[in-house]
Structure 1
């Protein structure tokens, strides 16, 4: 997946979302930690307010040692209220009072209350909690703290014992604190909103980029797949700078490839023309060589007959007629190469066909103490028997010329899934290496007395049937094959 651009963009998008989630969780965690720290600080300040009341009461009890004998609780309450006012005046949002276990609230003060009417009694709704925390602090030697949370704010309570002339006396303080300070909360929400908007914008951008690049790459791939490699299409611009550089490079490469292909076609035509001219030259040289010798012999005999008189002329004419017959045979063989007669296919039984082919060469082979036999698993095939007979005759004649005395010539007919294969194997040394590249061209021969037309006739017959002729390398001698594909109908 990471090997493709689309896969990398998807992974990048996933990493971005994970990073955003981690950042959001970190921001929320830090906010909650900050809120917890503020709550702890508020609780500490509330406990210190209670300690401040206890310290003020100790000083008050020193200056009023006969509080225990006082029966006028109204005057006592006013004095304690004054003490509470002084103790809580510099402590915003903190309210508190003096509590006696058997009597209840003896004094209450909320000096920083911002309401229109001054509060003089503890909140009724919180009296059970105030009573409970004061009961927990009676008789103790340390401040007792408690907090009660709701969804939006937390109630902080603290109570501390007041040792002195009045028994079972405690001081208490109370304050409300917001769980999420409005400013910090709004900052958090703003930060999370910006983070969410950034992630969404990046996700939209990456998704658009991924889809755009995927679409352009698919279009380029489709355009390249529908055209031949030699004819690369001109790709349109994608308006993506990096991708257009690739498109431009492909278009330039296509132009260079087209120019190179045109040059290659021109060179191929020139080479084909040169090869044809070279082949024509070899054919012309071969024809000239083959014709020159009979003409020279006829001229020599004619000159001798003219010089010797009438008694030598009949003998000279016989020689001249022989040379004319030689020239006529040469012309007929040339015509068999150039006429390209369409094969007249017919169903042929292979055994009798090969027997007839061998019978024509038994005497010539016997003169060299050679044996000719045939083998193979081909029983029947469709081809032109006259043309294939002529091709096999040329291969057998070449084998008789090349095979050492006392050896055998093997004619084989076998079938494959796609063709019928005729082969002629002899024990000779084979054609010279210097003519192997032009072995089946006219007038190419390795024998001084050969015309070089036999193998060219074999090739023409094979190609007329849609097949080919070939020399097959073998350590057993020389093996020529004629491969004739099965006809479609």
Structure 2
């Protein structure tokens, strides 16, 4: 049987509190009633002692005054057992001498005394023989049972009411605390159910500073991580699909490009063009640039990966600048090639780095637009080399800033969003990074690669 956490907290605590409060309350009520009874006994004994040591006769007036002081009725008997005086206004209700009533010298308790019924009222009856009176005379003390019980109740009800109120207050507070804790745990249960259903929303931490808040904070951190993991999985799935498509397409394109380039080169040898005609050179450069794109697709699809080798960065950038020269002329963009003044070498996949830089430069040409400027340079940064491509364009849109390097993310109407994804993958495969900044109207894309490629466990480098 399912037992809710609220009941697990509430029932044991209320039971323990109830037992403790009931024990304290009953003990207090018993002490209070005992104290009241002793007060009544002491008052009666005081009156009896006064009557027993007095030399004046027991007259109706004396007994009436003693009744006013003690609340009890008195009946005086002579040595022959005949009633002489009484505090009752109607002596006819009194019985003949009560042989069943024990005679004591001192009144100790009313509750243990026998009771008699006189005129429809029950009395505790005790016969006392005064010490200073002649032998055989006695005094009958009749204390109303209702007055005795009322006095005990008047003494007992305040602690009883206080105990009941305390128990009710404790039960209410305990119920509120249990309800509050179980409610917070119920919210966590709902949150976990949402997570199981794929909804990674975060739960409100609340104002409490306790273990439940710590648990809520941990669940929120888990939700954030799960969201990030889901995004990563989605991105990886898209990349995997892209890699499969790119690999099949790239193999077909590479074969076609190789045939086209060999045909143009053979034609140029057989039929040299007029002096100053560079159309065949431009066609070969365009084919070479397209071939670099195909190599990038093959790298994205992990179909082939070249072994790292030493090469000079400035020479690679010169090759890229030569490849994109026709594109710059067509787009009316000025390309500035800055040199560092000292040789910079890398040990990396030269083909992969060339393809990444080529994609960055082509993106910069489109971003700069007619009349714009782009700059290509290599900057040494200790054990790293930063290849920086700058353009005078407006920079990427703000809404795409966080996902700019993901596949299929582009702001161009006819773009496919693969250039930066390819460049970013090259940077990651070499243990580097691709970053960008935009300041003073210039956008800088920086491809940072270590001078020596770190060994990656499980990486398969194939020499092609």
Identify whether the pair has TM-score above 0.5, normalized to the shorter chain. no
TM-score normalized by structure 2?
0.41
TM-score normalized by structure 1?
0.39
